[in-house]
Amino acid sequence: MKKIAVLLGVIFLFIIGCSYYYQQKREILQNLASAYQNRENLQGYTKTQILRKFGKPQLRKSYLKNELKIETWVYQNIYSFMEITFIKGVVTKVIYK
């Protein structure tokens, strides 16, 4: 009887964890779609703010230019493409396609 209760508890926690994960994923996709649709001005945002809003980027590129670290993050899905450029960890340019 105790094993069944533990098993049901584990299944219940697994279901809650999965629903939370997919809710977060859906929210990130909605944020990306909204930013793309409204051509949101993201200049001045930090890397942490972008990560919270859109999640991990699909592609990250970084290079040094005149001793400044320049990073480019790319977010894309079926409907939208967004390229965000950071200098010193702050958004300086956003390209929507």
- Judge whether residue 79 has pLDDT over 80: no
pLDDT of residue 77: 78
pTM exceeds 0.95 for this model: no
Q: Can you give the residue ranges of every domain in the chain?
A: 2-96
pLDDT tens for each residue of 12-59: 899 998 888 888 888 888 888 888 878 888 888 888 998 888 888 888
Q: What's CA 59's distance to the chain center, in Å?
A: 11
Q: What is the mean pLDDT of residues 59-70?
A: 86
CATH topology of domain 2-96: Beta-lactamase Inhibitory Protein; Chain:B, domain 1 (3.30.1450)
pLDDT of residue 15: 92
**Distance from C-alpha of 17 to C-alpha of 29, rounded to nearest angstrom:** 19
CB within 8 A of 35, min separation 6: which ones? 42, 53, 54, 82
